[in-house]
Amino acid sequence: MKRLLNSHYLTAALVVADIAAFTTIWFAMYYLRDHLADLGLWYKPINPVRPYIYALQVYLPYWLLCEWYYGNFEHREKLTGLNQISRILKTFIAGLVGSLALAYLFKQWDIGRFVLLTSSFCYFWWLYLSRSMLKAWKQAQVLKGIGVINILVIGVGRTARRVMDRILNHPEGGYRLVGFVDPHPRRKLRRSISGFPVLGSTRELTKILRSHPVEQVFLAVPKMPQNEMMNLIVQCEDLGVQFKIVTNLFEVITSQVRIDVIDEVPVIHLRNTEMPFVQALLKRLLDLVVASFLLVVFAPLMIGVAIAIRLDSRGPVLFRHLRVGKGGKPFMMYKFRTMHVDADPYAPAPTDPNDPRITRVGRWLRRYSIDEFPQLFNVLKGEMSMVGPRPEMPFLVEQYEEWQRRRLDVKPGVTGLWQIVGRKNLPLALNLEYDFYYIKNQSLFFDIVILLKTIPAVIFGKGAF
């Protein structure tokens, strides 16, 4: 396996780049403020530069400490990439608040608020752009075969196939599947699964690891005796191979868990993660503010879209569809009409941009999710939220099992994890898991992160048509 630069070198490069960027931004904002005063655009001249040099020796280490604390020097990204912008936002908030506090503590330096605030905001964008560029570069290297991790999957069932599908559908993740190992030594081995070889049974694991370039082993077996699992772990550790367990416990995957101890026995406690009352009020306030703002900003566009729909095909401008909201309460969801009026509203959704049911204007609207703008009125009415699970049709909800009805514990959203991860590219089962992940981890901060990540997904039409 061709490897990327050593992790320590990457970290050192990030630290050096951040030091240079912060220093440049700090003095650039100082001289901008000074220039504004010279032009008469500011009410008083700025102080000499010397106190700002002293202050930089305090603010710079503090910001670097915030970056380190919130993981901005780490190189691994989770599936959705949400942790990247989440870390940067936390760093920005902590850095800005801390900078204002330091300005109060060191009043003798008399650091202007203009320099503090503009430097903080500019540095936020530096962090976002630099980490995004690093991530894009690493993904490009992975697609060239550099830095790819070879993995072996123990298991031949549904969980193992799910790992395989994930690797095949996301090559940018940096994993390459070497093959499978059958956890049942006594039965007749399959030759391959979807073209990937079954290299043997768990009895032959050491031999397989010695004869194949494997860096990580994924155990994808729902049930396995503890002694067998420990034996596999020891074999991997002896050869320097990482051992990972793929759990099939959906509730554990999507929940916030806490490890408790009862008489020295560790147990997993699944916590109820219902949004606190104050956060729920703030979430509703966020919905009203964002929906109102978007409706005002995009009012001319929406009027133009309405005219284009009427000129393009016969039928109403808006498409009204019955959906199920919080607590199982039905409501009428609004969208711009993108299909011909004779199309069955309850037929399977189009999966092909050339579907004859879609109008000419409709293809463009669906491509950039503009057809969903009228849902902002549903948000104002309190039927939907800006962020939440997908609004589902009644006949699908009727087929839910009891545990699936927990999707109805929150309001459906205009956007959600399914949009920013892949939107229509994802299978229904995986969409459902992202909905549950959101429900079990919902917070006001999580909503803000999802809203910010939705912007590039919509602009570039990611996963849409």
Predicted local confidence at residue 435, as pLDDT: 83
pLDDT at residue number 251: 47
pLDDT score, position 78: 45
Q: What percent of the chain has pLDDT over 90?
A: 31
| Closest CA relative to residue 360, chosen from 423, 310, 302 | 310
Banded pLDDT at 317 (limits 50, 70, 90): very high
What are 29's two structure tokens?
Answer: 């904002």
- Tell which wins on pLDDT, 342 or 444: 444
* pLDDT tens sequence across 234-254: 888 889 898 988 865 444 445
Position 352 pLDDT exceeds 70: no
Domains and CATH numbers, the chain: 7-143 (no CATH), 149-248 (3.40.50.720), 277-459 (no CATH)
Return the pLDDT at 70.
87
**DSSP per-residue codes, 177-224:** EEEEEES-TTSPPPSEETTEEEEEEGGGHHHHHHHS--SEEEE--S--
277-297 vs 299-312: helix axis angle to the nearest 10? 60
Predicted pLDDT of residue 33:
85
Q: What is the pLDDT of residue 170?
A: 74
Poorest-confidence range of 62-66, 172-176, 232-236?
172-176
Q: Which of 262-276, 349-363, 396-410 has the lowest mean pLDDT?
A: 262-276
Q: Give me the pLDDT at residue 108, please.
A: 78
With a cut of 60, say whether residue 349 has pLDDT above it.
yes
Q: What angle do CA 401, 276, 407 make, to 5 degrees?
A: 15
- pLDDT per position as a tens digit, 399-446: 887 777 888 889 999 998 877 765 555 555 556 777 888 888 888 888
Q: What is the mean pLDDT of the chain?
A: 82
pLDDT digits (tens, 9 = 90+) for 75-124: 655 444 667 888 899 999 999 999 888 888 887 778 888 889 999 999 99
User: pTM of the full predicted structure?
Assistant: 0.60
State the Cα angle at 80 between 380 and 269, rounded to 5°. 85
Q: For position 122, what pLDDT does the model report?
A: 95
pLDDT in tens, 383-394: 999 999 989 889
The per-residue pLDDT for range 29-51, each reduced to its tens digit, is 998 988 887 777 776 777 788 88
Phi/psi for 131 (5° steps) reads -70, -35
Whether 309 shows a pLDDT value over 70: the answer reads yes
The encoded tokens of residue 142 equal 């992975």
- pLDDT at residue 263 in the model: 45
Q: Are 90 and 70 a contacting pair, CB within 8 Å?
A: yes
Other beta carbons less than 10 A from residue 367's beta carbon: 15
